[in-house]
Structure 1
Amino acid sequence: MPLPSHPLRKLGFLTIGLFDEADPRRGHESTLEIIELGERLGFDSAWVRHRHLQYGISSPVAVLAAASQRTSRIELGTAVIPVGWENPLRLAEDLATVDILSGGRLNPGVSVGPPMHYSQVEQALYPDTGDIEDFSYARVERLLDFVRGKPATDFSGVEGFEVFSDRVQPHAAGLGRRMWYGGGSLRSAQWAGEHGMNLLTSSVVKAEESEDFAEIQRSHIRTFRAHHPDGDRARVSQGLVVIPTDSASPEQREKYEEYALKRTPRTATPQGPARMMFAPDLVGTSEEIAERLYAHAAFREVDEVAFALPFTFGHEDYVQILTDIATRLGPALGWQPTA
């Protein structure tokens, strides 16, 4: 585990990919440039969020297809695709295609549940089947089966001049082992472990047995590994909002601190009927952040992270934050950049 004597093995980052409605190309181009920068800085992975009917990335698979052609080494992930918006068979085809194009670098993260604001989008999304759509874990099971090569039909062979397969094509060997579940509860952690997925644990968890964020997150990680075939070797990536200020300008530092301060009240107690707990944003020098991470009960359980970039900052802010993470915070955690 990442104590000073156990270095951080994998370092990644996560971006929402915001854009201006009047100029969406510029925002998407900024996201791709940030991913390219991440590769140059030696990051192990770059992850994109998923936003429908908002001004953020609505099609992460398409964005990562573009990123795969502008990078050669960095792993590319989604954190996360809400499968309630997707047809599992079609999504499996898209994921496999991008994995092939990337040379086996895709790390798809998914989650389950009804689409956000479902009553408002049901008629647009599922006008004929909305009342019978299954938004349970079974929807992810279907996706896993298709990605892992289980038959999607009982027909295969030649029909005229066309050749048909009984499983999703292309088949991306190894992709099934790189499927991640974004979980924030004990139930989801257990389910992901039982189904041999990897676990993405973020800055949001459900307060079930405690109101201490780090203790809750640690219990999720341990529950996941207790039910995973790989046990303590099962992969977990932690995603906290981390904002180092080493090379930030005074104006940037003020903006970062104000951003975190506005979000701090929600971290004090569970929020809403679901009792969701939010982790505090970590703002400060890399030395200060490393000290706080080493004291974090859940961070001590993992050896890979995907630090989340704040939602609303500018391109130049992300460049500064990523550069400080790669050149100062990462090494303070024992991580070494990939050449």
Structure 2
Amino acid sequence: MPPTSRPLRKLGFLTIGLFDEADPRRGHESTLSIIELGERLGFDSAWVRHRHLQYGISSPLVLLAAASQRTSRIQLGTAVIPLGWENPLRLAEDLATLDLLSGGRLNPGVSVGPPMHYARVREALYPGTADAEDFSYERVRRLMGFVRGEQATDFSGTEGFEAFSDRVQPHAAGLADRMWYGGASLRSARWAGEQGMNLLTSSVVKAEESEDFAEIQLSHIRAFREHHPDGERARVSHGLVVIPTDSATPGQRAKYEEYARTRMPRTASPQGPARMMFAPDLVGSSAEIAERLAAHVAFREVDEVAFALPFSFDHEDYVQILTDIATLLGPALGRPSAA
């Protein structure tokens, strides 16, 4: 296999954490078990998605707090928290608290924009203020300021028996350097770079200047680094759906191939008014997937990944996929196996 431009340095995975409405605890416990497995297999990071009013993780920080007490080394990330659902000051408190509980392992990823199906949820989420809410980058700036320890109020000192701070407490030193922005557009990539954040890029981009997925993603990565104070050293994490089949049973292979086949049509052209482009899911042996990634011009620009696990597979499937990624695909991409 031809080597990638940047040998893989950090290996991570992303899960949506689906559950059955009739037995939600089982699904959450499965996700925690998968994160524990990831640590045993030597993954550098585990990331969870954020789903409101769906059958997936709606409160990732609570789940990651539990994961932080069951693990000791693996980095814990969110990819991503949609800030349209959040109050930046309150979220900053939760992020700092979790970062301290985890021993400085939290990697919060965020994004902006109106909540999904906002017209249907606005009165439940922001009764009386729905039209006044600001879903722009300013919401991220506010969050970053609170995380960095900027002043939140003009009052501090003692009132009676209570002591008050003028900034968010607790303060987690170093957390601001581990804040990520999930961007799918050239504008977002540039903005994240200007803010000195890290960039999460995934299997979804906006078809703005091209309809070639990899070329679009490459332009985002380069624009981000051009505008980041750290330049070429600025951190980018890549997240495609990869499904290695090395140790899969025949039944699993058939399921994986069918899953990718049904999702393939959406990758042929831009989808919807926003012209979103989707990357194909990569199914095959670790050697085959490594070859395809080596030819991916955007992937060649990164040395960190958070490979996305498919949405609807069984726990045993995730165990097999993660094991193959850690022991076979990671080493094929330049990262030695830690398992």
TM range (shorter): over 0.9
2:327–2:338: 8 Å Cα contact kept in structure 1?
Answer: no
Would the alpha carbon gap of residues 130 and 6 (structure 1) be closer, same or farther in structure 2, given more than 3 Å must change?
closer
Q: Is the 8 A contact 1:64 1:76 kept in 2?
A: yes
Q: Which residue of 2 aligns with 1:245?
A: 245
Matched, 1:142 2:142: yes
The CA distance in 1 between the partners of 2:182 and 2:292, in whole Å, is: 24
- Counterpart AA for 2:242: V
Q: CA deviation at 1:301?
A: 0.4
Runs of 4+ in 1 over 3 A off after TM superposition: 2-6
How far has the Cα of 1:5 moved from its partner? 7.1
What is aligned with 1:151? 151
Query: 2:204 is matched by which residue type in structure 1?
Result: V
Q: TM-score, normalised by structure 1?
A: 0.98
Q: Deviations over 1:101-133 (max 9, x none)?
A: 000000000000000000000010000110100
* Residue identity (%): 84
**How many Å separate the matches in 2 of 1:3 and 1:12?**
20
State the match for 1:18 in structure 2. Answer: 18
What number of residue pairs does the alignment pair up?
338
SS at match of 1:20: coil
Paired residues of 1:74 and 1:105 also in contact (CA < 8 A): yes
Match of 1:235 in 2: 235
CA distance in 2, matches of 1:196, 1:149: 16
Query: Partners in 2 of 1:188 and 1:275 — Cα distance?
Result: 15
- The aligned amino acid for 2:16 is I
* Pairwise CA distance, 1:3: 3.2
Q: What SS does the aligned partner of 1:69 have?
A: helix
8 Å CA contact retained: 1:44, 1:338: no
Q: Does 1:110 align with 2:110?
A: yes
1:183-231 C-alpha deviation (Å, 9 max, x unpaired): 0000000010000100000000000111000000000000000000000
Instruction: Find out whether 1:65 has 2:57 as its counterpart.
Output: no
Q: What is the aligned partner in structure 2 of residue 179 from structure 1?
A: 179
Q: What is the rounded CA distance, in whole Å, between the counterparts of 1:338 and 1:264 in structure 2? A: 33
TM-score (norm 2): 0.98
Separation (CA, whole Å) in 2 of partners of 1:5 and 1:137: 32
Contact 2:6 2:302 in 1 (8 A): no
Structure 1 CA distance for aligned equivalents of residues 336 and 7 of structure 2: 9
> By how many angstroms is 1:11 displaced?
0.4
1:129 and 1:4 mapped to 2: Cα distance? 49
- Unaligned 5+ segments in structure 1 are none
Query: Once the 2 structures are TM-superposed, how far is the Cα of residue 336 of structure 1 from its aligned partner?
Result: 2.1
Instruction: Name the counterpart of 2:85.
Output: 85
Q: Give the superposition deviation at 1:36.
A: 0.1
- Kept in 1, the 8 Å contact 2:88–2:139? The answer is yes
Q: 1:7 Cα deviation (Å)?
A: 2.0
Of 151-160 and 51-60, more deviation after overlay is shown by: 151-160
Across the aligned residues of Structure 1 and Structure 2, the Cα RMSD in angstroms comes to: 1.0
Do 1:104 and 1:175's aligned partners in 2 also have CA atoms closer than 8 Å? yes
* Corresponding residue SS for 1:19: coil
